[in-house]
Structure 1
Amino acid sequence: MFETPGASPATTLDIMLPYYGDVSLMQAAVHSILAQSDPNWRLTVVDDGKEPDVPGWFASLGDPRVSYQRNEQNLGVTGNYRKCLGLVREEHFVMMGTDDIMLPEYVATMRALIAQHPGIGMIQPGVQVIDGDGKPTDGLVDQSKRLLYTPKVRGQRLMGGEELAVSLLRGNWLYFPAMCWRTDAVRKAGLRDNLEVTQDLALEIDLVQAGEQMLACDTVCFQYRRHAVSISSQQAFTGKRFAEANRFFMEVADRLDAQGWTKAAKASRLHLSSRIHALTMVPGALKNKQSEGTRTLLRHVAGSDQR
């Protein structure tokens, strides 16, 4: 394991990078952090892979704000996220995607918003979506988020309670890797063992149910990379993603009912955006000759997979 010396006392934002995958995209993500206009950050990279030249590349950076370590055994997505969470030292952190890009004003924007709202649980800044080549893109998923689900934000908007729960369960319009989180709130909520593709929404709902608020800001300072083929979309062709999603939505609905949030519980049981998403995946499942996956997707679309 290679680790650079400790960061200066001025460091105020932890950037956690759970890494597995393409080396060049990861390096682009790291370079975008090094290029921040505000130097008050600390980057911690936890490598869950085995690419041979990665440790040496981090050692060559020579930046005391950057630390790198490689897992002895592969922990998987949730395991590596959980390890990163345990390594956070500051009051606020970002769990950045290994293929995403921070625009130069990201850290400055987050620190300014934290100063204005020091107790905030979550911050969602403005996001530009890019494709695998780094070019701006606006596919059906992101158009739906923007036009159908995302609340109108001019400047800043503070949200919380059942209103936010209903909004997210109708359609999760947040971009998890771009968000800034209050560390103690996330540690208290924790990450679930039985979820993969819905882990982000689960954390968001857990925090909202615990009374945390979210600040949405329209300042675009992050680029979220959406690939044509990703792990989650490959799983979707088999229906695995939506089997997990249905289990999550039903369990959350029961919890929301118990809390007295009946509108949110109804939105969770309906999970309309998830069902529409499943419908868009049916042609791909048919093309890939995933007969069982096609049946699973159609059951999710019809709502017949609900217990």
Structure 2
Amino acid sequence: MKILGFRGNVDPASYTLSDALPNFGRASGDRSHAHSGSTAKGRDGADVPIAPLVTIAIPTFNRAELVEKCVRSAMAQTYPKLEILVSDNASTDGTVEMLRAIDDDRLRILTSEENIGAIGNFNKCIDEARGDYFVLAADDNYYRPDFVSKCVRLIEDEPGLPIVIAAYDVLVVDEFSKDDRRTVPARLSKKLSTGIWQGTDILQEYLHGRISAQLLSSLVRTDILRRNGGYSPHPCASDEATWIPLLMEGRAGFVDEPCATYMVLRESLTEGFTADKRLGDLREVLDELSAVTAKKVSDPAMRERIQQLLNRYLAYMAAVNLVIYRRGGASLSQAVQKLWGWRTVLAKCSVTDFLSTWRLRSIVRILSPQPLARWMAKNGFDQWV
């Protein structure tokens, strides 16, 4: 399972593509909370637990070996009030049998008689979660033991936070040859320290490309996630469409250190949707986020600033898509033609947007002959330009 379009503002080589799968209906699920203890009033007036139950949800399909590592990293969390929810999407490789052999009271296994699609499985996890807060983990993610504890510590300081975001590293596997691995370190903020901030402050850091942030390394309030419609049906950039609106709910938590690792397999770097589909879908998502900004952000200057950054983010992602397009075998002339073909999609982006976001390493990768670009990536030189 490759979950979600573009995973945060890391080097373009680290992006993966999402599955082209439809959104299916939601199961009703058991939504009863298992938390106990004191509650407090959240900023939205809701009763929220001070020590919340957290669900780590792991949707999976035919990835028995990978999902076991993910499950065991969830089991290793130091935070005690935890539900580990694995939703198997009709696997045929012994995944369910492997999971049932794990002896842990916190583990709950869901099965499907037939494959309901990736997005359908993500939403099944959201519907079935019993936790007050929710983590959506791909089956090839894994976590540091104190990930949940560090996030909950901020929730204890301000109960009811809509979202707490932590940074994550990227592990690129089999990129150039079998057993070839390289780690793209998390981008950490030079402006925001670990703590509670206005959600728009965190969003600006993300859209500037200054932090690595995505749904995989976030704790989100389950009730707000459901109220917003669950996991976005957009086949590309669905992560952004799902978690960014929670930053516009008000204040948010931020953990400025890597707490998770996202694995990228070689085939996911070039396979999947076309470059046109990826960028077009992202444009639709950013238009939706612009509408959320207009509704949720009261300060006119901040609304204008976020809109400007959304346009710049689209320009940046055009460069990312061209890098992926070239990696897939496209010639330089084809890349130039592709950029020209995107002129309508990129109509909202100004020249300044491109000048401020097209980083030198991305330009080098687009312009360089493929053997040189691959050599630079393999040896890490493209991270220095």
TM-score (norm 2): 0.65
Structure 1 SS opposite 2:183 = coil
8 A Cα contact 1:101 1:222, kept in partner: yes
- Which residue identity is paired with 1:264? I
Tell me which residue corresponds to 1:215. 253
Deviation string, structure 1 residues 82-132 (Cα, Å, up to 9, x no partner):
111111112112111210111122233233232122211111123232233
The answer to whether the 8 A contact 1:257-1:265 is kept is no
Equivalence for 1:224: 262
Displacement, 1:304? 4.9
**Contact 2:34–2:53 (CA under 8 A) maintained in structure 1:** no
Pairing 1:53-68 to 2, within 5 Å after superposition = 53-68=94-109
Give 1:64 deviation, angstroms.
1.5
Contact 1:37 1:105 in 2 (8 A): yes
Structure 2 counterpart of 1:15, which letter? I
Matched-pair identity in %: 19
* Residue in structure 1 matched with residue 86 of structure 2 by the alignment: 45
* C-alpha deviation, 1:69, in angstroms: 1.7
Are 1:199 and 2:238 an aligned pair?
Answer: yes
User: How does 1:196-275 map onto structure 2 within 5 Å?
Assistant: 196-209=235-248, 211-230=249-268, 233-235=270-272, 237-254=274-291, 256-257=293-294, 260=300, 261-270=303-312, 271-275=314-318
Structure 1 stretch 253-262 or stretch 67-76: which is displaced more?
253-262
For 1:61, what is the secondary structure of its paired residue? Answer: coil
CA drift at 1:243: 1.7
Distance 1:80 1:288, change over 3 A: farther
User: Hey, which of these two has a bigger chunk of helix by percent?
Assistant: 1
**Structure-1 residue corresponding to 2:327:** 284
CA distance in structure 2 between the aligned counterparts of 1:113 and 1:134, rounded to whole angstroms: 37
Unaligned runs of 5+ in 2: 1-31, 37-51, 174-178, 349-385
What's the CA shift for 1:285? Answer: 4.0
**1:220 and 1:286, CA in 2 relative to 1: closer, same or farther beyond 3 A?**
closer
Deviation at 1:262, TM superposition (A): 2.0
Q: Which runs of 5+ in 1 are unaligned?
A: 1-5
Alignment CA distance shift 1:233-1:201 (3 Å):
farther
- The one-letter amino acid of 1:275's match is A
TM-score (norm: length of structure 1): 0.79
RMSD of aligned Cα (Å): 3.4
Q: State the structure with more CA Rg.
A: 2
Looking at structure 2, the residues matched to 129 and 89 of structure 1 have their Cα atoms a distance apart, in angstroms, of: 29
Return closer, same or farther for 1:78/1:306 CA change in 2, 3 Å cut-off.
farther
Corresponding residue for residue 137 of structure 1? 183
> Matched residues in 2 for 1:134 and 1:112: separation?
37
Displacement of 1:257 in angstroms is 4.9
